[in-house]
């Protein structure tokens, strides 16, 4: 497995997953990457230790990187943590939920707007499973990648 953190980029024939979700709280991205470490894939991780809030040039670079890698990924994993407002995650989720592109979704059961997001997702992607646990979400994502690669288990 290869982990690519913003602003780095990497071209690989391996399947890839973009870790979309809040970057301000706990580093859940590292937990997911660790859990996926036995897989042959590239993980696009937008979390940056040097995030520069208020720097417009930095923000423009970060947003461009995220858009490019969300589009490039084989699968998009969306996680909405319970302790976050996740405004940008909700924006991105809304964009991608209205496409047919592969994605997995998890919303922490403690997230205050969980029911509203579930109602919106039911309209955009009826029958899409939504996990409430990061481990379940990660496992579902790994299975989806294997299915897309033609590997059956």
The answer to whether the predicted template modeling score (pTM) of the entire model surpasses 0.75 is yes
Farthest-apart Cα atoms in the chain, separation: 47
> Domains in the chain and their CATH numbers?
2-148 (3.40.50.450)
Alpha-carbon distance of 111 to 126, in angstroms, equals 21
pLDDT tens by residue, 6-65 = 999 888 889 999 999 988 878 999 999 999 998 889 999 999 877 777 889 989 999 999
Strands (E) in 61-134, as ranges, are 75-80, 103-107, 130-131
> What pLDDT does 151 receive?
54
Please state the φ and ψ torsions of residue 130, each to the nearest 5 degrees. Answer: -125, 115
Q: 153 pLDDT exceeds 50?
A: no
Q: Are strands 103-107 and 42-45 parallel, antiparallel or unpaired?
A: unpaired
> What pLDDT does 147 receive?
86
pLDDT tens by residue, 63-97 = 999 999 999 999 999 999 998 888 999 999 999 99
Alpha-carbon distance of 10 to 39, in angstroms, equals 17
Q: 128 pLDDT exceeds 70?
A: yes
């Amino acid at each position: 497995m290869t982990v690519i953190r913003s602003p780095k980029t990497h071209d690989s024939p391996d399947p890839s997953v973009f870790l979309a979700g809040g970057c301000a709280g706990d580093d859940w991205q590292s937990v997911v990457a660790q859990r996926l470490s036995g897989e042959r894939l590239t993980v696009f991780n937008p979390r940056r230790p040097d995030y520069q809030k208020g720097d417009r040039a930095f923000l423009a670079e970060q947003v461009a990187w995220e858009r490019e890698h969300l589009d490039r990924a084989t699968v998009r994993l969306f996680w909405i943590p319970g302790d976050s407002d996740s405004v940008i995650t909700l924006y991105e989720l809304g964009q991608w939920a209205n496409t047919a592109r592969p994605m997995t979704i998890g919303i922490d059961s403690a997230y205050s707007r969980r029911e509203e997001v579930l109602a919106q997702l039911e309209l955009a992607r009826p029958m899409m499973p939504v996990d409430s646990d990061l481990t379940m979400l990660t496992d579902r994502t790994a299975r989806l990648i294997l299915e897309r690669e033609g590997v059956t288990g």
